[in-house]
Amino acid sequence: MTIIKNGNLVTEDKVIREDLAIVKGKIARMAPSIEPGPGDQVIDAAGLMVFPGFIDAHTHLDMDNGVTVTADDFASGTLAALLGGTTSIIDFATQARGESLSQTLDKWNAQADGRCLCHYGCHMSVTDWNEAVKGELPAMFEKGISSFKVYMAYDHLRVRDRDLFELLLELRILGGLLGVHCENGDLVNAGIQRQKEQGRLDPLAHALSRPPLVEAEAVHRLLAIAKFAGCVVNVVHLSSALGMEEIRRARAAGQRVLVETCPQYLLLEDSCYKDPEAGRNYVCSPPVRSEADRAALAEAVKSGEIDTISTDHCSYTLAQKAMGRGDFSRIPNGLPGIEHRPIAILGSFWGALPAPALARLLAGNAARLYGMYPKKGAIREGSDADLAVYDPDACTVISAKTQHMKTDYNPYEGMTLKGAVRDVLLMGDHVVQKGRLVGTPKGSYLLRKAVDVSL
């Protein structure tokens, strides 16, 4: 038995000062005092906060964007995740056009299986909707995939509104949640062309080519389609105040809408694009927005309007980013973040939000929405003993020099954040001790269940 003594346990609605006993990888008991017997392992968590292991529900590991492959594969990505307190990730398996979903899943499994240090699963990104793909959906659920994604932008990925609508109708029957990349693909293409015609090829032109209204229009259209289908949808990586307004409007009219945002939209602002060289290292889509957008989204987090915060981790090295030197449209899109999301959010919002609300944003809500609750995302008896121990009195300075992600830069370089993730337990194993990896942790595949997505 392993006992965490004297810790402050962050449950879903309150913080309790209790001891926690782990037996066979599960939380067996929580009580004001649990005394160790002979052979029991004791972890003293006096003064520390014990969170459910964090869940990053939006990662792109070992992903080929058609030109280059992300810097992090499943081994380096999940190592970095674990050291930051993230015990489960949900990555994306992305269908290539003409491919069946089972072929897509086989390829993704070949990349991920046996390499992950934390638990892992995938959303299925549908890019080629047809009758055969529709017929494959039940088999995806049998394989533990209950969440899907479509893109409204990128010519090689995006689906038509009609396809989106038909997929939603099927997912409503099967209990599958659809996440959507909301940007108007036609306007993005036109915006890129317009910047080039004006002679703008620098990284700032990337942001100018796809302003907030391009996101807001897609959010608006998606919510209309979802309402027509009678289905809850999840707006992923929301980046703008204008997009948030569309979600507020729909919610005010009684529609249930889920929304995810990411650390880059809460901690960074678009002056990062000003330097024509360093600016490209911040290129992601949607782009980092203005200070006003950043502040508006941070307020939305505080007011409880955001459901989940994930990373959209999609990492490239400086050399890869330099493929777009002199042409912003050739810069590989994406930022690293899988390692520092928990500390970035805890450090930024500590005191502004109660610890249980932070736990829901970083773990509990994703567990519920993605069919893993209460096995994951909760500190309660019977749940898996995936835990992250946070020291609110410590301090973390983010730097590429000390990170484990395979990028040779960090967008948050030099940022000093309150607190530190000190210890991590994976199925009760004490795999991170005072910030250092111990042993050779192995994550399990997340067999996720269907969820209720009807409006």
The binding site for Zn ion (CB under 5 A) comprises 312
Q: Least distance from C-beta 238 to Zn ion, angstroms?
A: 12
Q: Least distance from C-beta 60 to Zn ion, angstroms?
A: 6
Nearer to Zn ion, 61 or 301 (CB): 61
Strand order across the beta sheet in which 233-235 lies? 54-59, 86-94, 119-125, 147-151, 177-181, 233-235, 257-261, 308-309
Look up tokens 């209990």; give the residue: 175
Q: Least distance from C-beta 58 to Zn ion, angstroms?
A: 6
Nearer to Zn ion, 312 or 423 (CB): 312
Structure tokens that stand for 327 in this block: 């042409």
Nearer to Zn ion, 8 or 184 (CB): 184
Half-sphere exposure of 137 (CA within 13 A, CB side): 27
Nearer to Zn ion, 182 or 296 (CB): 182
Q: Least distance from C-beta 265 to Zn ion, angstroms?
A: 13
Q: Cβ–Cβ contacts within 10 Å for residue 284, how many? A: 24
Which position's Cβ is nearest Zn ion?
312
Nearer to Zn ion, 56 or 423 (CB): 56
Residue partners of 162: CB distance under 8 A and separation at least 6 = none
Among 43, 121, 119, smallest CA distance to 86 is for 119
Give all strands (DSSP E) within 78-171, no chain letters: 86-94, 119-125, 147-151
Q: Least distance from C-beta 74 to Zn ion, angstroms?
A: 16
Among 56, 91, 86, smallest CA distance to 70 is for 91
- CB contact at 8 A, 232 and 453: yes
Nearer to Zn ion, 270 or 312 (CB): 312
Q: Least distance from C-beta 224 to Zn ion, angstroms?
A: 23
Q: Least distance from C-beta 38 to Zn ion, angstroms?
A: 49
Kindly state the greatest CA–CA separation across the chain.
75
Q: How many helices (H) and strands (E) would you count in the chain?
A: 14, 19
Parallel, antiparallel or unpaired: strands 387-397 and 416-426? antiparallel
Nearer to Zn ion, 195 or 333 (CB): 333
